[in-house]
Chain A
C-alpha cells in the first residue's frame, strides 16, 4: 500500500509497518541492482576469469 492509496492513514501503525516493508524492499532492490550493474560493467571490461572465491 502506498501513501496515495485511498485506504492510507497517516498514523504510527501504517508508517511503521509500511516504512519497514519499503525499507527492506529498497535495501534488497538496491543491493541486487548494484550487483547486476557491476556485473555488466565488469563483463564489458573483460573480467570473468575463474580466479575468485
Chain B
C-alpha cells in the first residue's frame, strides 16, 4: 500500500505490522504527553523537585542525551573535516540519532523551565555571565544544524526526490554539508563543554568544583571530550539494536569497526584525563575546600565508592581496552559489550555530575539528600525514548538511511516491486 514510498532495493515489513508497532509505542508516547501536559497546566508541583534538587531527573536525561547525541557532531567532524570517508555509510543514522537526542533535550527543557512561553527570554534577556546561556545559544543553533543535516535525508525519499526542486536542494545541501558540519562541531564543543562547566564552577559544592584554564573549569573539557568519545558508541548501539529488530545487516563490519576503534581511543584518552582530574580533585581541590573523598562516598549506599569504580573502570577503562584491542573489537560479542558499558559509563558520569552533586551535604549540620522522581518526571523522561523509536521507525521505513542495506540484503522480487511503484497513482507526490 505504501510501497511507492519505500526506498528502492530494500524490503520492509507489511504496513499493518508497521502500524501496529507505531501504535504500541504511541501508547507510551501518549502517556508521556499526558504527564507533560500535567506539568505545563498544573505546574512543577507535579515533580518531586525541591530546594535541594532544582536540577533533577530531567537535567540528567538532558545531559545524557546530549552526551550520547554527540555521535552526530563527532562523526560529521570525522567524515567532512578529517576525511574518514568510510563513515558515509553510517553518517545518516548518526545524524538521525543526533536529531532525536537534541530535539528530545529541547523538549525536556521546555517542560523543565515550567513556563515554556517564556523560553525565548534566555535569548533576549541573556545573562552573559552564565554557562547555561552559552548552552542555550549553542544547543538551539546546533539543533538547527542537525535539522539542516536531516532535511536532505527526507528529500531523498523516492517520491519527494522526483520533484526537481527538492532533488536539487538535497544535492546542494549535500555539497555544502562540510560547512554545516564544521559549524556543528564548533557549537557542540562549546555547549557540551558548558554543560560540564555548570558543575565545575559551583565553588560552594566541593564535590563538583574544579580548577581550570582561564574561565573554563576542567569539567568543561572533560564533558566535550567524553561526548566526542562516547557519542559514536551510542550510534553503534542503536545501529546494532536496529539490526537485531529488523534482522538485517545494515552497515558493513569495516565501518562499524572503524568507528568503534576511534571511539575506543577517545574513551581511553578521556579516561586517563578523568583519572588525573579525579586524583587531583581528591587530593588537592576537595581538601582545600574542607572536604575529603570519604565525605562524598561513605554517607549512603547509593553513592558508595562503587559508583566511582563503575564510572571510571567499568564505563571507561574496560570498554576502552576492548575497543582498542583489534581481536576483541572484531568479536561482535565483546564489541557490543564494550559499547553498552560505554553508554552506561557516560550516562553514569552525567548522573553523578547532576544528582550526586545535589545529594552530598555541604554544611556540617546537613544530611544526604536523596531524591526520587515522581511518575510524571519518569513519564516525561520516557517520552523522548518513545518519540525517538517512532522517528527511527518512520525514517527507516521511508528514507534511505543505510546506503549499504540493499547490497547487504539483496531481494529476489525487485522487478515486482519496481512494476508496482510505476503505477500511475504513484507518480503523484502529493498523494504519496
Enumerate chain A interface residues (CB-CB to B < 8 A). 1, 5, 7, 11, 13-14, 16-18, 20-21, 24-25, 27-28, 31-32, 34-36, 38-40, 42-43, 47-48, 50, 52-53
In the complex, chain A residues whose CB is within 8 Å of the CB of B52: none
Say if the beta carbon of B27 comes within 8 Å of chain A: no
- Return the chain B residue nearest A30 by Cβ: B179
Separation of A7 and B126 alpha carbons in the complex (Å): 9
The proximity string for B residues 113-144 relative to A, scoring 1 for CB distances below 8 Å and 0 otherwise, is 00000000001111011000110011001001
Min C-beta distance of B178 to chain A, whole Å: 10
Closest to B124 in A: A1
Q: Which of B125, B183, B190 contacts A1 (CB 8 A)?
A: B125
The answer to whether A21 touches B141 (Cβ under 8 A) is: yes
The total of chain B residues at the interface (CB under 8 A) is 32
B172 pairs with A42, CB closer than 8 A:
yes
Q: How far is the CA of A42 from the CA of B190 in the complex (A)?
A: 36
Instruction: Identify A28's interface contact among B123, B129, B171, B180, CB under 8 A.
Output: B180
Say yes or no: B148 contacts A31, CB within 8 Å. Answer: yes
12 A-B residue pairs with CB within 8 Å:
A1-B126, A14-B128, A16-B128, A24-B187, A28-B141, A31-B183, A34-B172, A39-B168, A42-B171, A48-B165, A48-B167, A50-B161
Residue of B nearest to A21 (CB): B137
Show the binding face of B for A, using Cβ within 8 Å: 123-126, 128-129, 133-134, 137-138, 141, 144-145, 148, 161, 164-169, 171-174, 176, 179-180, 183, 186-187, 190
Q: Are B134 and A35 in contact (CB under 8 A)?
A: no
Question: Considering only CB atoms, which chain B residue lies closest to A12 in the complex?
Answer: B128
Q: How far is the CA of A42 from the CA of B170 in the complex (A)?
A: 12
Q: Is the CB of A38 within 8 A of B168?
A: yes
CB-CB < 8 A to A14: which residues of B?
Answer: 128
Contact of B164 among A28, A31, A43 (CB under 8 A): A43
Which residues of chain B come closer than 8 Å to A21, judged between CB atoms?
A: 123, 137, 141
